[in-house]
Structure 1
Amino acid sequence: MKNKRNQNVNYLTVNETDELWGLYTTTIGFQVISPNSDYPPKSHPSAYWFSPNTGRVLQEYILLYITEGEGSFESASCKLTKVVAGTILLLFPGEWHTYRPLKGKGWNEYWVGFNGSYMKQLTDNLFFSRKSPVYNVGFNEQIVALFNQGIETANYQKMAYQQVLSGITSLLLGFIFYAEKNNSFRDKAIIAQIDKARMMMREKTGDDVTPESIAKTLNIGYSWFRRVFKQYTGFSPAQYQLEIKLQKSKELLASTILPVKEIAFHLNFESASYFVTFFKSKTGLSPGEYRDKIKGK
């Protein structure tokens, strides 16, 4: 560990228990790269050192957050890209890459290196892709605070510190995914329409309100509404309505003595038998079994 005002670097050990946790950290730190200085610094460990002219290949993931300055990034799957303050780079194991600050600008960088089965699961399910490794999240105090908390945890390396770093790294990944998704919806008018549609669905849970009628009320085309709604929420409008009905049915089963048939009618299911089938497909329990379980019977 090097602990200076403009540099705090940690390279970490990993044991079998850490690997079994599913996400473990190999390095975390912060450093200021001054204008016209060497990059990487001469103090860079040999295992991580590289020439920006030839690049390198690592065997782990790296999140690199640039908070000041500017430079460039390139990888085997991503063409040469300008990097500005507020950019996060996600480096993939086994993927050639290179990056550097502009010589006359320098930059400030936070990073965390990590690996594990959890990250493999995220990439296998396309939450993160080698083809899109650049995230423009802007300056985010929460992300900076997480990096600093991780650096402090690594400085002391108390028992089970790797598990704390795992949680911090997972939160960082969550913030990046959240920022990327929300950056694709910059139009406040579109967001307002989606929010209004969701409010209508929640307020009219038991009414005969269809997604088509909601689109008509909002004076927008249904095909466009369905596409944008799913992009924003992860559900089609009809699926979202069913999820709301599921949550409401759980509330009624837990807090009332209403018969299952009456709950089905109250929530405007087409029949009690359909409600029972739907509920069991979602929870693994019939409505009656769910009520008994929630009440400890």
Structure 2
Amino acid sequence: MEQIKYITENENDHRWGLIVCSAGRQRVAPHEEYPPQGHNAEYTFDWRKGRTLQEYQLLYISEGEGTLETRSAGRHTVKAGDMFLIFPSEWHTYHPNPETGWREHWIGFKGENIDNRVAAGFFSRKQPLYHIGTNDTIESLYREATDVAVAQRPFFQQLLAGIVNHLLGLMFMTEANRNLLPNSDMPNIIELARQYMQRSITSDITMPDVARHFNISYSTFRHIFKRYTGLAPADYFINLKIHRAKELLRSSNIPIKEIAYELHFESPEYFATLFKRRVGMSPSHFRSK
């Protein structure tokens, strides 16, 4: 058994949008009773019967393996490097394999911040398991959360909320990228393509040119780029140009017509129309603000 901390909160913490209820880490040896003694009565459970909680819990298994079962997702094998998210009012149970034990890290939390992300579809009861792999940053964040919870310095809840958001972001990003293009170099190529476009905003290049630069068919490049970034390559490139135009409008006296030509828009009129559509005001209005 290692550090475990159950935490109270106040009204000000609730206004922050996310509060942490518990944090801890523990090593469960092979054939050791699970869960070990020492938990708050609210959290103690018989893994054979399962339980429900009124909060989210995010767990990371850094060693060993075991089993997770939830009402919505059924039964899953959990291995070292996996994270899983428990949802409020969701029946669940989990436990280590008696032959291996495991090392678990967890943090419990609730609030409108996480509720909104679930409602937006970022996290689902039907997919609670995330295959992250060994990750020193994640382990370090869990250790920091436990240390902060134990010390409970003024406004510690706000710091803990930041750690939860960091953990959720890392988990979501890692799993999303793994699912996007498993066993592929494409994510690295897309990132290099983004950098190439950033260096080329004053060049007269097309998106098929970018695809050829990386020896990819344009149809494949466009499809993968949009899945990876959420934007078609042309839209991404235009956004880069608009961002550069805004910088020039703010920091220089270069005529608007010359900015349009420098960034290789079809015409000053097209640039002005596109700028207003994307920014909500004309280039001249933007410069005068």
Same fold, TM exceeding 0.5? yes
Q: Distance in 2 between matches of 1:283 and 1:30?
A: 48
Task: Please state if 1:165 is matched with 2:160.
Answer: yes
**Match for residue 36 of structure 2?**
41
- Going from structure 1 to structure 2, the CA distance change for 1:223 and 1:76 (only over 3 Å counts) comes to farther
* TM-score (norm: length of structure 2): 0.92
Q: State the alpha-carbon separation in 1 of the partners of residues 65 and 102 from structure 2.
A: 6
Does residue 111 (structure 1) correspond to residue 86 (structure 2)? The answer is no
Per-residue deviation, 1:187? 4.0
Counterpart position of 2:205: 209
Structure 2 letter corresponding to 1:156: A
Which of the residues 151, 174, 189 maps onto 2:185? 189
Measure how far apart 1:188 and its partner are: 4.9
1:76 aligns with one of 71, 80, 83? 71
Residue 157 of structure 1: how far off its partner (Å): 1.0
Q: Which residue of 1 aligns with 2:4?
A: 9
Count of equivalent residues = 288
* CA deviation string 1:76-130 (max 9, x = no partner): 2223111111111111112221111011211111100001111112112222222
Percent of aligned pairs sharing the same letter: 42
Which residue identity is paired with 1:198?
A: R
Please report how far the alpha carbon of residue 192 of structure 1 lies from its aligned counterpart in structure 2 after TM superposition: 4.1
Corresponding residue for residue 268 of structure 1: 264
Distance 2:192 2:158 in 1: 40
Question: Helix, strand or coil for the counterpart of 1:164?
Answer: helix
SS at match of 1:7: coil
Matched with 1:150 is: 145
Distance 1:228 1:265 in 2: 30
Structure 1 gaps, min length 5: 1-5
Q: Does 1:123 align with 2:118?
A: yes
The question of whether the paired residues in 1 share the 8 Å contact of 2:62 and 2:102 is answered with yes
Within 2, Cα distance between the matches of 1:192 and 1:85?
A: 26
What per-residue deviation string (whole Å, max 9, x for no partner) do you get for residues 36-83 of structure 1? 122122322221222222211111110001111110111122231111
Looking at structure 2, the residues matched to 230 and 119 of structure 1 have their Cα atoms a distance apart, in angstroms, of 26
Specify the SS of the correspondent of 1:39. coil
CA distance in 2, matches of 1:148, 1:193: 34
Name which of 236, 240, 253 aligns with 1:240.
236
> Once the 2 structures are TM-superposed, how far is the Cα of residue 16 of structure 1 from its aligned partner?
1.2
User: Deviation string for 1:172-224 (max 9, x for gaps)?
Assistant: 11111121123233445323432343244223323443223433444433332
Aligned counterparts of 1:210 and 1:187: Cα–Cα separation in 2:
29
Return the offset for 1:135.
Answer: 1.1
- The AA in structure 2 aligned to 1:20 is R
State the match for 1:3 in structure 2.
none
**Partner SS state of residue 142, structure 1:** helix
Matched residues in 1 for 2:188 and 2:38: separation?
Answer: 51
User: How far has the Cα of 1:269 moved from its partner?
Assistant: 2.1
Residue of 260, 265, 278 corresponding to 2:274:
278
Which of 56, 66, 74 is the matching residue for 2:51?
56
Give me the TM-score of the superposition, normalised by structure 1. Answer: 0.89
